[in-house]
Amino acid sequence: MKNSNEQIICFDLFDTLISTPDGSGYKEELITLLKQKGIEGNSFNERIYKFVRDNLMTRNHNFKEMVKRLSLFLGIDLNQDEASLLENKWAEENTQAEWIDDAEQIISEIRSKVENKIVLISNVTAPGWEIVDKKLEIRKRFNNVFLSFEKGIAKPNPKVWEAVEKIYNRAGSYLMIGNDKKDDLEVPFSRRWNVGLTGNGKSLNNLISNNINKESSVPSAATKYIILDVDIDADELKSLSDMPCEILDIKEFSKTIMEWEGWNGMDPNTTVLIFPGNGGSLIKGTLEDEWLKKWPLKFKVDIKRVWCPGVDPTVEGGEIYPQIMLTDIKNVVIIDDAVSSGATAGKIMNKNKLWFPGAKWSVVTWVSQRASDTKGFERLYYGALVGERNKKAPLNSLSTLLQDRSIANSYASRNIPGKSNEFLALLERIKNKQPK
The one-letter amino acid code at 12 reads D
By C-alpha distance, which of 297, 306, 370 is closest to 344?
A: 306
User: Does the pLDDT at position 150 exceed 90?
Assistant: yes
As beta bridge partners, residue 386 has 369
User: Does the pLDDT at position 2 exceed 60?
Assistant: no
User: Does the pLDDT at position 151 exceed 70?
Assistant: yes
Q: Which CATH number fits domain 225-433: 3.40.50.2020, 3.40.50.740, 1.10.10.10, 2.40.37.10?
A: 3.40.50.2020
Average pLDDT of the chain? 83
Report CA-CA distances (Å) from 290 to 93, 202, 294, 301: 41, 39, 7, 22
Q: What is the mean pLDDT of residues 126-147?
A: 95
pLDDT at position 312: 57
User: Does the pLDDT at position 205 exceed 70?
Assistant: no
Residue 212 confidence class, pLDDT cut points 50, 70, 90 = low
User: Does the pLDDT at position 1 exceed 60?
Assistant: no
pLDDT at position 57: 95
Residue 153 confidence class, pLDDT cut points 50, 70, 90 = very high
User: Does the pLDDT at position 160 exceed 60?
Assistant: yes
Q: Rounded to an integer, what distance in angstroms lies between the CA atom of residue 352 and that of residue 325?
A: 10
Q: Which fold has domain 3-18+98-211?
A: Rossmann fold (3.40.50)
Q: Rounded to an integer, what distance in angstroms lies between the CA atom of residue 50 and that of residue 46?
A: 6
Listed range (2-16, 128-142, 145-159, 259-273) with the worst mean pLDDT: 2-16
Give pLDDT tens digits for 27-57: 777 777 777 776 665 555 677 888 899 999 9
Strand-by-strand arrangement of the 246-249 sheet: 246-249, 225-228, 395-397
Q: What is the mean pLDDT of residues 125-130?
A: 96
> Using CA atoms in the order 154, 155, 157, 163, what is the torsion angle rounded to 10 degrees?
80
pLDDT at position 221: 46
Q: Say whether 225-433 and 3-18+98-211 share the same fold.
A: yes
Number of helices followed by number of strands (H, E) in the chain: 18, 17
Angle 163-168-173 (CA atoms, 0-180°, nearest 5)? 110
**Contact residues for 99 (Cβ-Cβ < 8 A; gap 6+):** 17, 18, 136
**Contact residues for 132 (Cβ-Cβ < 8 A; gap 6+):** 13, 18, 94, 97, 124, 138
Give pLDDT tens digits for 287-345: 999 999 999 998 887 766 655 555 555 656 667 766 678 889 999 999 998 888 888 88
Query: Would you list the DSSP string of 34-79?
Result: HHHTT--GGGGHHHHHHHIIIIITTS---HHHHHHHHHHHHT----
As beta bridge partners, residue 317 has 303
**Contact residues for 418 (Cβ-Cβ < 8 A; gap 6+):** none
Give pLDDT tens digits for 242-293: 888 888 877 778 887 888 878 888 999 999 999 988 788 888 988 999 999 9
pLDDT at position 434: 80
DSSP letter assigned to residue 206: H
pTM above 0.85, yes or no: no
Q: Which residues of 245-282 are buried (b: 16+ CB within 10 A; e: fewer)?
A: bbebebeebbebbbebbbbeebeeeebbbbbbbbbbeb
**Contact residues for 255 (Cβ-Cβ < 8 A; gap 6+):** none
Q: What is the mean pLDDT of residues 358-380?
A: 87
**Contact residues for 24 (Cβ-Cβ < 8 A; gap 6+):** 89, 92, 93, 96
By C-alpha distance, which of 376, 3, 385 is closest to 159?
A: 385
pLDDT at position 317: 63
The larger pLDDT score, comparing residue 200 to residue 361, is at 361
Residue 156: asked if its preceding bond is cis (omega within 30°), the reply is yes
In this structure, are residues 285 and 276 in contact, taking their beta carbons and an 8 Å threshold?
no
Domain spans of the chain? 3-18+98-211, 21-95, 225-433
